[in-house]
Amino acid sequence: MIVADRKPLEEILDMIKECNKILLVGCKGCVTVCNVGGAKEVGILAASLKIARKKDGNPIEIDEKTLERQCDPEYVEQIRDIFDQYDAVLSMACGVGPQFLSEAYPSQTFYPALDTKFFGGAVQHGIWEERCAGCGTCVIHHYDGLCPIARCSKSLQHGPCGGSADGKCEIAKDVECIWDKIVKKKMEQGRLEDLRTIRAPKDWQTARDGGPRKSIREELVQ
């Protein structure tokens, strides 16, 4: 899923400082699963903003709405009747949400309440980790299911580098070295020689480096 964090309350308050009435829109997709942009979090943020503004002697009116998904024009339509009743709309989706909303309602102003972080999953309750960089050409089978493109700080296809020590990455003591894990797994499975293969330079055209991407499924295009 796409994992996001909520922006600091001060930053959100600053974005909407000129507004007296806003619509706060959540999303029932990824950001609900990672507990940052669903109906519950919409309620919490609305309450926090109202309290902060009231404390400042400048109360704000906030309506709440949580869409099935903000990345789908069909669901984005659900605010067609109300979008223009507000000074601005605050989106609690990943970065896709406020853009789809802006495209559907060009006359309204949309603000992002979340910082979109990565593609990942929950490793324990309350902790999510990055697993995929969306590079467009999956190579995890070469590395026994451990992706060095997303999980190595240098995206090395051949590792580890000299900065790996005691299973940790040089960038921080709490960052695991994925190459340490890859090598250990290969050793355990008696397939260390797999790592002798020198891989061709990665084709970054399929990643974000090739420019904005599009996926077309001909059979679905009407």
Partner 1 sequence: MYLKNRFDVGKFIILAEMQPPKGVDVSEMVNSAVRVKKSVDAFLVPEMGNAVMRMSALGGAMVLQSQGLQTIMQVNCRDRNRIALQADLLAAYGAGIVNIMGVSGEDPSLGDHHQAKAVHDIDLMTLFKAVSTLQAGKDLAGNELTGSPSFLLGANVNARATGDELAKELELMDAKSEAGVDFFIAPPVFDFNAIEPFMEKVNLKQVKILPTIMLLKSVGMARYMARHLNMTISQDLIKRLMRAPDKPLESLTIATEVLSDAKAAGFAGVMISAMGWEEKLQKLMDMV
Residues that bind partner 1 (CB under 8 A): 201-205, 207, 209-211
- 199, 157 in Cβ contact below 8 A? yes
96 phi and psi angles, rounded to 5 deg = -70, -40
- From the list 16, 49, 31, 159, the residue with the least C-alpha distance to 97 is 31
Of 8 and 210, which CB lies nearer to partner 1 in the complex structure?
Answer: 210
Query: What would you measure as the largest C-alpha separation in the chain, in angstroms?
Result: 68
Q: Is 105 exposed, middle or buried (0-12, 13-18, 19+ CB in 10 A)?
A: middle
Select 121 or 136, whichever has its Cβ closest to partner 1: 136
Give the shortest CB-198-to-partner 1 separation in angstroms.
16
Give the nearer residue to partner 1 in terms of CB position, either 104 or 132: 132
Closest contact distance (angstroms) between CB of 171 and partner 1 is 15
Beta pairing partners, 66:
26
Q: In the complex with partner 1, which residue's Cβ is closer, 44 or 139?
A: 139
Shortest separation between residue 170's beta carbon and partner 1, angstroms: 16
Minimum distance from residue 203 beta carbon to partner 1 (Å): 4
